[in-house]
Every structure is written in C-alpha cells, then in structure tokens.
Structure 1
Amino acid sequence: MSESDSLKDTVCNRRIFLLGTATTFAGAFLAACGSEPGLEVAATDVPVGSAAIFNGFIIAQPSAGSYVAYSQECPHQRNPITEVEGDTVRCTAHNSVFNIADGSVVSGVARDSLTPATVEQEGEKLRVRT
C-alpha cells in the first residue's frame, strides 16, 4: 500500500467520522428542540385561592377547581418569582407583585403581565407546559 493510498483511507475515514458525528449531533439537537419542557403535579398541591411554585412554573387555583399557570420568570428583568402571598406572587428582586387569577401587575416596577403557560387537568394530575 502506497503512502497516498494510506492518506486516502485516512481522509475517507475522517470524513465518515465527521459526517456521522454531525448527523448524531443534529439528531440530538432537533430532538431536544422538539420537546416541550413541562411539569406534572398533583392538583392537591395547589391551594385554593392561592398558588404554588414548581420547577419554573407558577400554578394557581384562584377558585376551587379552576387552574391557571404562568412562567416563574418575572417579565421585568427575568428574575425568578419566588414568593406566594395569598392571591398574589412577588418577585423579590424588585418587589413586583402579580395577581394569580390573570397574571396582571398589582404593584412594582414590572409593566407586563406574567407569561401564561398551558395547564391541563387529567383527574388528580395537572400537566403544565409552555
């Protein structure tokens, strides 16, 4: 086998390796992009007339059996909302307060309402996604 034949085999193998790696990466990337982040919690974990915060979501039950959900991210500067105070939630970074029933601003520097999420009830489970 000549040196040029050996070099051709190396180049060919390198091309196949790089093509395979790129294909694998693209498949994993597309699979990750196609999946929606979500959450499943027990409906009993969300108090009536208040809310609870779970893994990036605020889930509220303004009235018995009526559920709404929002992103935990404050619309002001994207800090996490970390406190539930009765029928409101508060971002402690700049003290913006939001109504749990509709996500509207009650007080503070935030101008935009909370970003809604989709919540579906299936029996005693709540499924939330963006």
Structure 2
Amino acid sequence: MTARRAVRRPLRPAPCWPAPRTFRSVAAPVAEGVLVVQPEAGTFKAYDAACPHQGVRVGAPRDGVITCPAHNSTFSPGDGARLGGPATKGLTEIPVRVDGTTIVRA
C-alpha cells in the first residue's frame, strides 16, 4: 500500500466574519461539497455536504439546523450529529483551521 501525502491547500479564500447570534447566515460553501459553519466567534467547523443517507447535498443551516432537501434528514451545525430523518449517522467532519483570514484544511 502506498502512503498518500496530505495536501494542505485552502478550501477557497473565505473571510472570517463575526459570529451571528443564530446559525442563519454562518454557512459558506467554500469548496465543492464542503459546508463550513461558525458555531461561535472564532470557531469554524467544516462538514462533507453529502447527506449520509443518499449523498444529496445538504443546505446551509436554517433556524439552527442543517437539513437535507431530499428526505429531510436533520443535523446539528455544532457537531454534525444526526438529529432526525432517515440518515443513520451524522455529517462527516473535515478538519479546518483559520490561517489569517482564510479557512484551510487542517
């Protein structure tokens, strides 16, 4: 088996903005298939945007919940955990960090 080298590249330049009081506008689709949320000031989390149920892309958080438009599986923006619906597990987290004003893969 050949070991793969991790490539550290920016997801896409994304400004770090102050955390709003709700999850309504914290999501940024900074790369194809990646959803980034800011659950609190200075803390960013990224998730694979494919719903674990059937791979449909989930939407940005609304009213504190990430929802899959296909079958209404719901997930927590804070940790990606499954809240309800046909999905049997939560969203897959993608490690990220803030580098200046850019969010990059950790």
Same fold (TM over 0.5): yes
Match of residue 63, structure 2, among 86, 109, 117: 86
For the residues of structure 2 that align with 1:77 and 1:117, how far apart are their CA atoms? 19
* Total equivalences in the alignment: 97
- Give the structure 2 partner of residue 42 of structure 1: 15
Distance 1:70 1:43, change over 3 A: same
- Give the structure 2 partner of residue 22 of structure 1: none
Contact 1:53–1:82, Cα closer than 8 Å, also in 2: no
- List alignment gaps of at least 5 residues for structure 1: 1-32
**Could you list the per-position Cα deviations for residues 17-36 of structure 1 after superposition, in whole angstroms to 9, with x for gaps in the alignment?**
xxxxxxxxxxxxxxxx9757
Opposite residue 52 of structure 1, the aligned amino acid is A
Distance 1:78 1:84, change over 3 A: same
Percent of aligned pairs with the same residue? 29
- Give the structure 1 partner of residue 88 of structure 2: 111
- List alignment gaps of at least 5 residues for structure 2: none
Alignment of 1:60-79 (within 5 A): 60-79=37-56
Distance 1:94 1:72, change over 3 A: same
- Give the structure 1 partner of residue 27 of structure 2: 52
- Give the structure 1 partner of residue 79 of structure 2: 102
| Greater helix fraction, Structure 1 or Structure 2 | 1
- Give the structure 2 partner of residue 9 of structure 1: none
Higher relative contact order, chain-length normalized (CA < 8 Å, sep 6+):
2
For the residues of structure 2 that align with 1:86 and 1:49, how far apart are their CA atoms? 7
For the residues of structure 1 that align with 2:84 and 2:75, how far apart are their CA atoms? 7
Distance 1:120 1:110, change over 3 A: same
Opposite residue 89 of structure 2, the aligned amino acid is D
| Greater strand fraction, Structure 1 or Structure 2 | 1
